[in-house]
Structure 1
Amino acid sequence: MKFNRILAQAAAVLVATGAAQAASHSQTENPMVGGAAMLPTMTIVDNAMNSQDHETLVAAVVQAGLAETLKGAGPFTVFAPTDDAFDMIAKDSLAALMMDENKAQLAQILTCHVVAASAMSDAIAGMIAADGGAHPVETLGGCTLRATLSGDTITLTDENGRDATVTIADVVQSNGVIHVIDRVLLPKQ
């Protein structure tokens, strides 16, 4: 599977820093997401399935055949678009992406939201500062996102110039971390 090949080739950016921060993160510190408790003992997929704000993302992950991978050991950082973010995509375009014949394209879009490391927001902010205000984020989908910081808010810009803001950061999972975002990021068009 292409995703597994990309995963094997991906550089583990910030694994040590992110893992150390995640290990020190207690269950009571995880924010609620989509009306559900996010348990750090559960995987990214299992927690996302409980979020009422991520029903489209979960359906897309299942349709793309990525659920088992994202239930794996990781570590992963997932920039998780909400249902409202998916609603910004034209309904007919989204319906077409969810068709079996477009599974590869859907998988690429989704993996452009996944990094092969557990990167907490403090680590991302540190990289942004170290890189003079913008840090390139290499994803498993082959996209390079640009991370910037304004105050405490992290913004990700895709290769098309589309911005997504991290609205909920540092949701620790057993196999990584989720950062909720307000827009779907896309591969270069």
Structure 2
Amino acid sequence: MKLTKLATIGALAISVAGLSACNNMMPQKNTTVKVPMTNPAMAKMNVVQVAQSSPEFSLLVEAVQAAGLAGALSDPNANYTIFAPTNDAFMQVLNETGMSKAQLFANKQLLTKILSYHVINGAMPIYAKDVKPGNVTMLSNDTLMITTQGKLMDENGRTITLLKTDLAATNGVVHVIDRVLLPK
């Protein structure tokens, strides 16, 4: 993983390197997530500002800032696709790994690796209608699988559900997920 490349993109949450695979990416869970589905003001915000606009992403925003990636993810010339885990997703991964938030956020290299596994930086942002099953290379250079059921599967075989899709931003699109993606 090249940190210089990560700094160029930042990392909220995703990079297409051969996204020949992704068209059933629709929300799978009827869960209350307090993120506006369509907010005209979001179309004038970058992906970081979209995350900052919702309290559901406060831990994600804090993680991006701790990793020093907010500036890179604000790049107006980028085309990011971000898989944004909710606060509940962060709490779940901390319980799952036995790490405290302070431990995770203090390990900048690990945090950057995890966050870059949520980001695709491609020629165009990837909207739900364009997704097909298959493998996607993330900004971290790790592989994410899109299942035929429209779910995500990380390299550890953990299944992630899309809660909301297509939150448009000036430099990409944000998709809300129920778990933090973990590379090997």
Alignment TM class, shorter chain as reference = 0.7 to 0.9
Partners of 2:114 and 2:51 lie apart in 1 by 17
Q: What's the CA shift string for 1:78-126, capped at 9, x where partnerless?
A: 0000001001022744320111xx10110010000000121001111xx
> Is 2:111 the counterpart of 1:112?
no
For the residue of structure 1 that corresponds to 2:151, the secondary structure is strand
Counterpart pick for 1:155 among 151, 169, 174: 151
- Report the counterpart of residue 41 of structure 1 in structure 2: 44
- Report the counterpart of residue 28 of structure 2 in structure 1: none
For the residue of structure 2 that corresponds to 1:40, the secondary structure is helix
Task: List structure 1 segments (4+ residues) > 2 angstroms apart after TM superposition.
Answer: 1-8, 10-14, 33-38, 90-95
For the residue of structure 2 that corresponds to 1:170, the secondary structure is strand
Partners of 2:4 and 2:128 lie apart in 1 by 26
Deviation for aligned residue 1:55: 0.3
Partners of 2:83 and 2:5 lie apart in 1 by 20
Counterpart pick for 2:90 among 61, 73, 86: 86
TM-score by length of 1: 0.75
Partners of 2:16 and 2:51 lie apart in 1 by 25
Check whether the contact 1:34–1:54 (CA below 8 A) recurs between aligned residues. no
Relative contact order higher in (CA < 8 Å, ≥ 6 apart): 2
* Identical residues among aligned pairs (%): 40
Counterpart pick for 2:130 among 108, 111, 123: 123
Amino acid in the other structure paired with 1:64: A
* Superposed counterparts of 1:1-189, under 5 Å: 2-5=2-5, 13=18, 34-35=34-35, 37=39, 39-72=42-75, 73-88=77-92, 89-90=94-95, 92-99=99-106, 102-117=107-122, 118-124=125-131, 127-128=132-133, 135-150=134-149, 154-188=150-184
Check whether the contact 2:83–2:174 (CA below 8 A) recurs between aligned residues. yes
Deviation for aligned residue 1:77: 0.3
Judged with a 3 Å threshold, the aligned counterparts in structure 2 of structure 1 residues 35 and 164 are, in CA distance, closer, same or farther, namely: closer
Gaps of 5+ in 2: 10-14, 20-32
Deviation for aligned residue 1:13: 4.6
Q: What's the CA shift string for 1:31-68, capped at 9, x where partnerless?
A: xx635546111100011101110000000000001100
Partners of 2:128 and 2:35 lie apart in 1 by 22
Larger helix percent? 1
